[in-house]
């Protein structure tokens, strides 16, 4: 599939109907466009099967509830919508984007209880999120923006508005020749990349930030399970910036990123070592099993 995302062949599932891709539009006064009342999921299908599909559908509903935006579809209905969208577009290996938002309605202020909550599912072919970084390791900038306190945002929701500082961070990173940026949290601890969780290796053990103010990714949880099945010690804890110098390996996890090695964060360098490669290859095997 080629071209801009609004000018492609195919179909997008919207509110129970398959709509021609170019006609899958919303009104300019859609509440989500003005007030970020939107949640979404990013998923990947391998060989016709969406990895952890129900987990994603369940999280979509939880995210909507966290934003006081109950989504009027069940998990089973969302699962059926994803299957229908994949079949309509003839794809078996695909990226799947389910998105729910408050549409246009009687309200156009901050409050929006009278506006309908809408749901769409789009699927398309999407290769490696970080390009050739899977072989040589991604290069990360360090963002000036910090993940905010959970007292200020629903940090356990996959909400569109929470990605604003991620977009700015990634733009700044790309301007410096990097693939992405690592973010600290509001306390100064290492948090995550702009759209992926982060892991470090030292002396054969794995360290990863505690997800107490950012999303506990489904891929993150999967990889922690894989490591523990191998008998690798995994420490979920607060990580200070000065600890970066002592880590030997690093990788990112996420549905789009899958498992991507990191070769550099700011001035800190990491090897794409055996454990990193093993987990990346094992994850690839798992999702295609």
Percent of the chain clearing pLDDT 70 (strictly above): 99
Answer yes or no: is pLDDT of 2 > 80. no
Cα separation, 170 vs 140, in Å, equals 9
User: Is it the case that residue 135 has pLDDT exceeding 80?
Assistant: no
The kind and range of the H/E element at 118 are: strand 117-124
Tokens of 18: 């398959």
Query: What is the average pLDDT value for the chain, to the nearest integer?
Result: 96
Is residue 139 flagged as an active site residue?
A: no
Q: Rounded CA gap, 66 and 83, in Å?
A: 26
Q: Tens of pLDDT along 154-176? A: 999 999 999 999 999 999 999 99
133, 109 in Cβ contact below 8 A? no
4-58: per-residue pLDDT in tens?
A: 999 999 999 999 999 999 999 999 999 999 999 999 999 999 999 999 999 999 9
pLDDT tens-place string over residues 217-246 = 999 999 999 999 999 999 999 999 999 999
pLDDT in tens, 240-263: 999 999 999 999 999 999 999 999
Q: Which of 99, 105, 34 is nearest to 73 (CA)?
A: 99
State if pTM tops 0.85: yes
Between CA 67 and CA 154 the distance in angstroms is: 7
Dist CA 73 CA 181 (whole Å)? 35
Q: Are the CB atoms for 196 and 257 separated by under 8 Å?
A: yes
DSSP 159: B
Catalytic residue, from 136, 158, 170, 202: name it.
158
Mean pLDDT of 261-273: 97
pLDDT band at 1 (very low <50, low <70, confident <90, very high): low
pLDDT of 103 strictly over 90: yes
| pLDDT for position 130 | 81
User: pLDDT (tens digit, 9 = 90+) per residue, 190-223?
Assistant: 999 999 999 999 999 999 999 999 999 999 999 9
> How many helices (H) does the chain have, and how many strands (E)?
7, 15
Across the range 132-152, mean pLDDT stands at: 92
CA 159 – CA 163 distance, rounded (Å): 8
Give the C-alpha separation, 276 to 274, whole Å. Answer: 5
Tally the C-alpha atoms within 13 A of residue 28's C-alpha that lie toward its C-beta.
Answer: 0
**Contacts (Cβ under 8 Å, ≥6 apart) of 19:** 11, 12, 13
**133-287: what fold?**
D-amino Acid Aminotransferase; Chain A, domain 2 (3.20.10)
Domain ranges of the chain: 11-124, 133-287
Element at 17 (helix H, strand E): strand 17-20
The separation between CA 260 and the C-alpha centre of its own chain, rounded to angstroms, equals 13
Given the candidates 3.40.50.300, 3.40.30.10, 3.30.470.10, 3.30.360.10, the CATH classification of the domain at 11-124 is 3.30.470.10
Q: How many CB atoms within 10 Å of residue 288?
A: 11
What pLDDT does residue 131 have?
76
């Amino acid at each position: 599939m080629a071209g801009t995302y609004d000018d492609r062949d195919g179909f997008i599932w919207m509110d129970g109907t398959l709509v021609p891709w170019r006609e899958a539009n919303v009104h300019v006064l859609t509440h989500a466009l003005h007030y970020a009342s939107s949640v979404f999921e990013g998923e990947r299908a391998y060989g016709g099967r969406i990895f952890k599909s129900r987990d994603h559908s369940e999280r979509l509903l939880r995210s909507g509830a966290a934003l006081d935006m109950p989504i009027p579809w069940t998990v089973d209905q969302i699962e059926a919508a994803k299957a229908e969208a994949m079949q309509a577009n003839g794809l078996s290996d695909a990226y799947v984007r389910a998105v729910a938002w408050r549409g246009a309605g009687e309200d156009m202020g901050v409050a929006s209880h009278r506006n309908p909550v809408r749901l769409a599912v789009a699927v398309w072919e999407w290769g490696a999120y970080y390009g050739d970084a899977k072989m040589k390791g991604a290069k990360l900038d360090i963002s000036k923006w910090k993940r905010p306190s959970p007292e200020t945002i629903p940090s356990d929701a996959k909400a569109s508005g929470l990605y604003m500082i991620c977009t700015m961070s990634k733009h700044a990173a790309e301007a410096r020749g990097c693939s992405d940026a690592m973010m600290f949290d509001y306390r100064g601890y290492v948090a995550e990349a702009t759209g992926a969780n982060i892991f470090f290796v030292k002396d054969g053990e794995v360290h990863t930030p505690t997800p107490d103010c950012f999303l506990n990714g489904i891929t993150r949880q999967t990889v922690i399970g894989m490591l523990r099945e191998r008998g690798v010690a995994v420490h979920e804890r607060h990580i200070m910036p000065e600890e970066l110098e002592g880590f030997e390996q690093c990788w990112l996890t996420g549905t789009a990123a899958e498992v991507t090695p990191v070769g550099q964060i700011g001035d800190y360098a990491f090897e794409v070592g055996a454990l990193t490669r093993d987990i990346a290859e094992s994850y690839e095997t798992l999702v295609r099993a």
